[in-house]
Amino acid sequence: MSRADQLSVVTPVSRPELLPLIAPSVPAGAEWVLVTDGPLALPAGLRPHVAIEGPRTGRWGDVQRQVGLEAASRPYVTFLDDDNLMVPALADLVIPHLEATGAAGAVFGLLYRHEGGFLIWPPPLRVERSQVDTAMFLGRTEAARRVGWPDLDGGAWPHLAGQRCGDYAFISSFDEQEGLTRVPAILGFHDGVASVRAFEPELHAALERDEDVGERLLSCLHRHMVQADSPPWWKGRRTLQTAPAAPPSPGSPVVPALLELAGTAREGSSVPAQRAHLAALVRDLAGDRPGQPVNVLEVGFNVGLGAAALLEASAQAHVLSCDLAEHPYVVPCADLLRARFPDRLHLVMGDSRETLPRLAAATGARFDLVIVDGGHDEATCRADVLNARRLASPGALVVVDDLMPHKAYGIGVWTAWNGLLRDGTLELDAVWGARPGATVAERDAGDPPEAFERRWGVARYRRAA
């Protein structure tokens, strides 16, 4: 069931001629509140909306956003400029996280257009001027009303009077007064209409035809996200240049920090011997391509212990993790890793059976290592391996975790694994295991599965004849 009916989308309007272009990106179930900058005629035939004539200011929409915020009737609110686009699935991606964590609001990353393509604008750990944008925010309506959208010319912000930074003033105030969680995923656009017009002409034409573009907007995000860098003015980029990721060390503080964030509610996670083995695979791949990225696709992020091991293994490692993000610790753990390893971890939230095909259509084959540790029933595990095949580069390694047929959670994975070997989808390299308390993994020589605390298979996709 879509969460769009819980969301109000507030748009300040000074360019009504653009509204037909952005309307297809507003989810059908959401309340769309349009507040004009003075008396402006709205185009005919728009999808259902609430139209409010706001005061004429000739400025940047701050007053209009506050009017729209006061009029919003749904429990959650976001702001959409009249030259931007939103991902129609935004409510489904963010609202469950806010409900699970109890957070008042969230900021997430955007795609940012520049002359050569797109840059990634990550959600900032610290809210500072030029580091945030209106389109990054989704939060509880009552909390947003308590903060209020600031009128920078009203006297409360004398040092910002006459400046175009109402988004900074609102988001920084919200963070201080109500608290914001950071969702380390790219879930929106900056200047979306112009971006799509410049780099996605077919998608722009679909917007002009008022077509349903939800899936295509998500594919656009995914395609450009994995190819983009962070903008040069983003402070996290400068941090990366002066403080590269530390080399791997057995006593890395990132693991206890992740476990502390997850608490006792976490699901089962990897063991040290397994993480060491995965890290060795990444270092071997990095050694084969000096100076080139090692792209890792991870299905199932959970606490992030596996992702941390991969990122620590080599500064060349870049990890794209897919996770349902049903547990409240997923996003904070990903956020911690993004801070530790800037620009090298991306989180795609949603059902992998849906997100992997979209990623494949958007990015093509680019991943050198595929790790499948998502849904443990046979059908989902098999679907993850098959869907990831389109994302794997030639010769990519495929790791399937939890080959534990004696455990309830491993029966489906074991059945899927054997079926994929039997039908020729995968070619076996080896099965590896970690005995209880071991720090080094060993190649399975035929011992019973019960002898191991963890077992996983390493394979490659069979080449087409």
What tokens were used for 326? 């049903």
What pLDDT is recorded for position 372? 97
Contact of 106 with 98, CB cutoff 8 Å: yes
Q: Residue 390, exposed/middle/buried by CB under 10 A (0-12, 13-18, 19+)?
A: middle
Given its phi and psi angles, is residue 181 left (phi above 0), alpha (psi -120 to 50 degrees) or beta?
beta
- pLDDT means over runs of 10, the chain (465 residues): 92 94 93 94 93 88 92 97 92 91 92 78 75 91 93 58 73 93 86 87 88 79 66 42 34 77 72 93 91 92 94 93 86 86 86 87 82 95 95 93 93 96 93 92 91 95 71
What pLDDT is recorded for position 366? 83
What pLDDT is recorded for position 239? 32
The bridge status of strand 345-349 relative to strand 367-372 is unpaired
The set of residues, in sequence order, having a beta carbon less than 8 Å from that of 1 and lying 6+ positions away, is none
Domains and CATH numbers, the chain: 4-235 (3.90.550.10), 244-461 (3.40.50.150)
d(CA 144, CA 321): 31
What ranges in 1-114 are assigned the alpha helix state H?
A: 19-22, 62-71, 90-101
What pLDDT is recorded for position 250? 39
d(CA 93, CA 354): 13
Contact of 93 with 134, CB cutoff 8 Å: no
**Max intra-chain CA distance, the chain:** 78
